[in-house]
Amino acid sequence: MWLLAASASLLPAVLLLSSRYRGEAAALWRRAAAWLLGLLRGRVCVRSTHAFVFTNCTHGKVHSVLETFDLYTKTHPSASVGPQIGELLDEVVGRLRPLLVLELGMHCAYSSVRLLRLMPPAGRLITVELDPVTADLGEEIILVSGFKHSQFQVLACSSAEAISNMPSHLEPHEKTGAGFSLVLMDHDPEQYLPDLLSLERQQLLCPSGCSLLLVKRDQRSAGLGRVLDHIRGQADRYSVTRDLQVLTEVFYRTDGLTARST
């Protein structure tokens, strides 16, 4: 009898607990499902973009590759940045003529091709992609565009890993050189600040001037807010040169006392 009474008195607590955990479990499940769906969608999108561009472009012709990408993004949802950011990239690369460029987040390689197309012949692009399948497909698109392995390198790993091992990926003359004069960040915004701090720490940003392009796929991202706070708090080194809805351009230099070479 006392057992029944005891369990009856416990019942409300048990019910309360199980309903609370049910709520949490459901929320957790919803988050996991959304993440998985995003991942699958990303992959499917990269695969179908790749198939469309690979079969429909003229191999060896960079203009045809970019046109085919644009045709695809006009008619399909796509992970590539599209012509609006593409034109901004053209303008920045044309102005800076960078010899060493870092791209974090390669996606379908649209921006990689766009960057390579206007870089000086001696320039080199290092592009980082976390997903190994995406990295392989992207590399194929860069080769199809007519670029050689001497002009670019694809690193299939996390951005943090790529940056911390960067010296081993650089050519001898790049190791003693000025570092990156253009960095395009289009990966996980949560990584923007830690990666920027790591690039600073390792002195990989060209001290006489480096353009940072931060792609804003999600305006409300907390990571984006954090990196912009850091940049605005270091006015001696950073200045925001362009703040658009899709992208923020930041100029970095640490030898501000010497005359501008340009």
Where does this chain bind ligand NAG (CB under 6 A)? 51-52, 55-56
Q: How far is the CB of 49 from ligand NAG (least distance, A)?
A: 9
- Tokens coding 218: 């999600």
Q: How far is the CB of 131 from ligand NAG (least distance, A)?
A: 20
Smaller CB separation from ligand NAG, 52 or 152: 52
Q: How far is the CB of 54 from ligand NAG (least distance, A)?
A: 7
Residue of minimal Cβ distance to ligand NAG: 52
Smaller CB separation from ligand NAG, 50 or 107: 50
Smaller CB separation from ligand NAG, 56 or 64: 56
Smaller CB separation from ligand NAG, 107 or 216: 107
Of 258, 254, 255, 251, nearest to 96 by C-alpha is 251
Place of tokens 């790591």: 198
Smaller CB separation from ligand NAG, 70 or 174: 70
Long-range Cβ pairs for the range 66-72 (8 Å, 24+): 66/110, 66/113, 66/114, 66/117, 69/108, 69/110, 69/113
Q: How far is the CB of 60 from ligand NAG (least distance, A)?
A: 18
3-class state of residue 215 by DSSP = strand
Q: How far is the CB of 134 from ligand NAG (least distance, A)?
A: 17
Within 8 A by CB and 6+ apart from 194, the residues are: 160
CA dist 156 and 159 (Å) reads: 9
Pairing of strands 100-104, 247-252: unpaired
Q: How far is the CB of 56 from ligand NAG (least distance, A)?
A: 4
Of 210, 215, 212, 211, nearest to 247 by C-alpha is 215
Of 65, 62, 119, 64, nearest to 95 by C-alpha is 119
Smaller CB separation from ligand NAG, 55 or 258: 55
